[in-house]
């Protein structure tokens, strides 16, 4: 086997590993029932009440707080957060001869973890975190041609074909949503695109839009929380004993992802105003998503109707975190309507593993 073939196989193996790599394993948060008291309970009843309290701990820690369940959920959240920021550096199709553009756009993404698929329907398993992540972004993008920024380019590249862009927006939608739900999201992106092949007319009614390569850096955040009631109990018929944990739990998720994005896009323009374009991308994600919040509340127990047990249940969600998928390959397909200097676009994107996004917006280019 030649050296070149060996290197190629090695690169493919490394890429395959990276596509499914999580940079750090999740650290599960756990429910702990402590400060157990047994006023008026005999030794046999105390033993049984202890066992019932342990059952509640086990029920929570092996379902909701299991490491694998949290890992699937947090990995999906990170993937959705990163993917929802993908469309802002090169929104739609900006003609190669333009000097300046301003874009306003939005994006929504959903990422599916293990056990979830669009074909079989999305289900929410009982007493478990759903293996899905969602995120939404909005942003303003400003782009300027390389003709206005005299930066020498290597390899004989033409600065006139370069477009530099910067995108940003931060939003707090907590007041608009209400119901005890908080939602904050932001994205900041900086990058450049290069018109590798310029547009060429095929017929009076159709033209090749050329090939544009885009690369950049983005930082995206997604922070959501809500209050949800938990009611877990364990019963022993032999001693007629019950231990119950009733509490409102503040649960949230905080995702911060730094991404290196790379994209190649091409398309066709028809009838002077309709662009249909497609492309592929390879993105690298760094950062983490974490469960936030927790709970501290009472646990009570009865035997034959008499309260003979009290304890404290403590749940700390601040220790649970997981990384997004390190490398993601994506495919995009979109369309744009051009009305003079205004372009209105909508596009869909699909990425590995099982991440989907819808992007839309409008820009003015001069």
pLDDT in tens, 84-124: 998 888 888 888 788 999 999 999 999 987 766 666 555 55
Domain total in the chain? 1
Structure tokens at 158: 């033409």
Q: Who has greater pLDDT, 178 or 171?
A: 171
Looking only at the bridges linking them, the beta strands covering 274-303 and 241-270 are antiparallel
pLDDT at residue 7, as a whole number: 37
Q: What percent of the chain has pLDDT over 70?
A: 84
Look up tokens 């995009």; give the residue. Answer: 332
H helix intervals, 62-147: 67-83
Q: Are 94 and 101 in contact (CB under 8 A)?
A: yes
Domain span at residue 248 reads: 3-365
Beta bridge partners, 155, equal: none
- The span from the CA of 346 to the CA of 106, in Å, is 10
179: how many CB neighbours lie within 10 A of its CB? 6
pLDDT for 220 beyond 50: yes
Structure tokens at 164: 């530099």
14: how many CB neighbours lie within 10 A of its CB? 12
Where does the pLDDT of residue 22 fall: very low under 50, low under 70, confident under 90, or very high at 90 and above? very low
Structure tokens at 105: 């756009």
Where does the pLDDT of residue 153 fall: very low under 50, low under 70, confident under 90, or very high at 90 and above? confident
Contacts of 311 (CB under 8 A, 6+ apart): 33, 34, 35, 36, 37, 53, 298, 299, 301
Q: Are 16 and 62 in contact (CB under 8 A)?
A: no
Structure tokens at 182: 């908080």
């Amino acid at each position: 086997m030649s050296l070149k073939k060996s290197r190629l196989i090695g690169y493919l193996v490394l890429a395959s590993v990276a596509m499914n790599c999580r940079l750090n394993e999740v650290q599960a948060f756990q429910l702990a029932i402590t400060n157990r008291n047994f006023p008026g309970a005999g030794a046999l009843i105390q033993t049984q009440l202890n066992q019932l309290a342990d059952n509640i701990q086990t029920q929570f820690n092996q379902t909701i707080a299991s490491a694998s369940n949290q890992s699937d959920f947090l990995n999906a959240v990170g993937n959705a957060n990163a993917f929802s920021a993908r469309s802002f550096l090169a929104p739609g199709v900006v003609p190669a001869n333009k000097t300046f553009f301003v874009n306003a756009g939005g994006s929504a993404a959903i990422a599916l973890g293990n056990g979830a698929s669009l074909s079989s329907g999305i289900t929410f398993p009982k007493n478990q975190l759903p293996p899905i992540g969602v995120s939404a972004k909005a942003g303003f993008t400003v782009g300027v041609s390389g003709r206005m920024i005299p930066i020498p380019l290597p390899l004989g590249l033409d600065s006139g074909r370069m477009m530099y862009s910067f995108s940003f927006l931060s939003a707090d939608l907590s007041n608009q949503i209400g119901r005890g739900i908080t939602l904050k999201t932001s994205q900041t992106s900086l990058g450049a695109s290069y018109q590798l092949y310029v547009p060429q007319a095929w017929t009076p009614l159709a033209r090749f839009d050329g090939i544009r390569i885009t690369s950049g850096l983005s930082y995206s955040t997604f922070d959501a929380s809500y209050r949800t009631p938990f009611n877990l109990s364990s019963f022993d018929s032999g001693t007629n004993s019950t231990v119950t944990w009733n509490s409102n739990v503040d649960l949230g998720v905080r995702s911060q992802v730094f991404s290196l994005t790379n994209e190649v896009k091409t398309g066709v323009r028809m009838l002077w105003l309709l662009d249909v374009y497609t492309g592929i991308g390879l993105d690298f994600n760094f950062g983490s998503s974490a469960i936030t919040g927790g709970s501290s509340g009472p646990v009570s127990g009865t035997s034959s109707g008499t309260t003979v047990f009290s304890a404290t249940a403590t749940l700390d969600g601040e220790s649970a975190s997981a990384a997004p998928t390190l490398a993601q390959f994506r495919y995009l397909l979109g369309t744009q309507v051009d009305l003079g200097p205004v372009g209105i676009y909508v596009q869909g994107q699909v990425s590995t593993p099982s991440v989907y996004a819808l992007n839309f917006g409008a820009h003015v280019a001069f």
